[in-house]
Chain A
């Protein structure tokens, strides 16, 4: 009885927040779903739509590559920063700067870095004598990928590094001491102590970043405009074009729905198959 009334109270207290969420999340979500599903035939036709498929390929490939590199770089940074050293707080603070900058601003900055006539990238290449006239970065898919990838890595590796740094600092010194007594070197410690104990956090970082990377929009919009010839057109950019540039909200909703499904499936897979799944079982 007491528990039941407590629960009722909890629902009453939650109600305003729930209603608010329903209004601003539930309604638009419902409408998007309805828009996307009202012509099931056209939703199915996406499976054969070359533009949608090429966007999906880019989105998946780019997310996979960028998250993988972020995890590796982030781990290296985290392990370097975990060592006791002077001004440790300062280095950790510096790490936050790229993450704290608004996405559109860092994208604009990178657009200038890779600008053909005035960009720093070409200045350096010319100075080193590697290129006579500079590289026209956004003219080839490889160049556009490189520019986008460097922006994404610069912007989001700090988040991964901080997450992993927190995890590394949680691990006590005891297993390392025991291992060193047994004659383990640094590499053995990394393989058999650090990585297994960081496992769950690595998965969390991968899921967080993976979901985020699959939504990539601002960098594409500012930096490459989806070019050259659609080679870097992401799903969210395509959904934006359909909805706001072509004025076809239903087409945009279909792309958005497929994207949401993709994100959900991948996130579930990562949570089910990784080290986190083991913890769930009693």
Chain B
């Protein structure tokens, strides 16, 4: 790990671009993503003679990217101008003064059309520090064929219904090869994904991130309701016992896509894969917004996604901001949706896309879009999140009761 960090530093030093006309964009992603970004940067460069745009490819894993950024920015030796950042890092980067406000660099006309996401995620103390590039949110995937056979006309509207339907369907199904499918798979391992899952129940139970930001702690009532429900799913056998030890995004997708689960909570990326030719559930699923609690006022979907920000102190800040605006403009977001399946952050684009051939897959997203919630933007987010995750995971493992867990979440 240390060797890798050193290597990143050394490579960073070698790639230092001294030319004043070279713009460096630091971003890490899957090979397919890097390919599309490079093509886009080449296009931008061709349209701007005299400007050279370089992609500094960071590791694909997001925790390694965070490591590269904190090392480079923390030491003051970063030499890139534009960065692609995970939505949860924005708060910490803003607090450390690593991001340059964009309202000073771009005309207001280029900063509209992003809907509520930008105001909730990218504005810190009145200053706009990033532009949303793509959007992720929690969705519910259901096995339409099994549910229809059991007499249900559509996906569950409440969490209580989901539990009842999962129980009914798993009991009714003939146990193929000796194993009954799981009722509901989701992300319960001790990592950031668990916090995203918890956030959805917490907000649906009436909790708010703003309250957490004010006090630094979760509200006990909603936290208890969330923990009790999550714990109950495992206790009642609706979710597999290894939910709390092994299930992250990919293992849960594997279970659902291989026909071993009735319901799954996952991000939008799972949709294209579940409908792909080699998927066992292609053509047999519903994708819908996550349910609410019975009698609850709202449903909630945790917001994820990646944002573009200009490094504070970049000598080419103006150019970098212009590139960020171009990358997140309508035509580019349309291309990213077409080639990578990314979900746009511009509301206008949804209206357009919904009419087209890609509309069907975007419809549940647009509905869920109205329910998005942010994870709390508190100081020292990494520690806050890790502590919360440990407490929540301990409840799922049965090490402490939901009431004890909620009490610990609500106090230092």
Contacts and interface: CB of A to CB of B under 8 A. Distances in A.
Interface of A: 115-117, 133, 136-139, 217, 225-230, 240-241, 244-247, 249
B382 A139 contact: no
B386 A245 contact: yes
Interface in B210-266: 240-242, 244-246, 255, 260
Contacts of B190: 225-229
A228 B242 contact: no
A245 B63 CA distance: 7
Given A116-B245, A225-B189, A228-B399, 14 more contacts: A117-B255, A137-B245, A139-B245, A139-B397, A227-B245, A228-B190, A228-B393, A229-B393, A229-B397, A229-B399, A244-B66, A244-B70, A245-B382, A249-B74
B243 to A, nearest CB: 9
6 contacts: A117-B260, A136-B242, A136-B245, A137-B245, A228-B245, A246-B382
Contacts of B66: 244-245
A225 B389 CA distance: 12
B67 interface: yes
Interface residues of B, number: 29
Contacts of B399: 228-229
Contact of B394 (A217, A226, A229): A229
A235 B92 CA distance: 25
Interface string B342-361: 00000000000000000000
Given A227-B190, A228-B393, A228-B397, A116 B386 contact: no
Contacts of A245: 63, 66, 382, 386
A116 B63 contact: no
A247 B386 contact: no
Given A136-B245, A228-B397, A246-B382, A116 B240 contact: yes
A117 B383 contact: no
Interface in B382-405: 382-383, 386, 390, 393-394, 397-399
Contact of A241 (B244, B386, B393): B386
Contacts of A137: 245
Nearest to A226: B190
Contacts, number: 68
Contacts of A241: 386
Interface of B: 1, 5, 63, 66-67, 70, 74, 92, 189-191, 240-242, 244-246, 255, 260, 380, 382-383, 386, 390, 393-394, 397-399
Nearest to B68: A244
Q: Most chain-A CB neighbours within 10 Å: which of B380, B386, B399?
A: B399
Contact of B382 (A225, A230, A240, A247): A247
Contacts of B383: 246
A147 to B, nearest CB: 10
Contacts of A247: 70, 74, 92, 382
Contacts of B246: 115-116, 138
B384 to A, nearest CB: 10
Given A225-B191, A229-B390, A245-B386, A116 B380 contact: no
A137 B74 CA distance: 39
Given A116-B246, A117-B255, A225-B190, A136 B241 contact: yes
A249 B189 CA distance: 26
Interface of A is mostly: loop
B241 A244 contact: no
Q: Nearest 5 CB-CB pairs, A to B?
A: A116-B242, A138-B245, A136-B241, A244-B67, A229-B394
A247 B381 CA distance: 10
Nearest to A118: B254
Contacts of B380: 246
Contact of A230 (B92, B241, B245, B390): B390
A240 B241 CA distance: 29
A13 B114 CA distance: 64
B67 A116 contact: no
A246 B240 CA distance: 31
A17 B257 CA distance: 55
Contacts of B386: 241, 245-246
A127 B194 CA distance: 33
Contacts of B70: 244, 247
A138 B242 contact: yes
Given A117-B260, A247-B382, A139 B244 contact: yes
A26 B380 CA distance: 31
Nearest to B382: A246
Contacts of B1: 217, 240, 244
A217 B1 CA distance: 9
Contacts of B260: 117
A12 B391 CA distance: 58
Contacts of B245: 116, 136-139, 227-228
Q: Most chain-A CB neighbours within 10 Å: which of B242, B255, B398?
A: B242
Contacts of B67: 244
Nearest to A136: B241
A65 B394 CA distance: 26
Contacts of A139: 241-242, 244-245, 397-398
A225 B191 CA distance: 9
A116 B241 contact: yes
Nearest to B63: A245
Nearest to B255: A117
A85 to B, nearest CB: 40
A117 B240 contact: yes
Contacts of B191: 225
Contacts of A240: 1
A27 B70 CA distance: 20
B383 to A, nearest CB: 5
A116 B63 CA distance: 25
A133 B178 CA distance: 11
A244 B382 CA distance: 10
A270 B289 CA distance: 61
Contacts of B244: 139, 228
Nearest to B395: A229
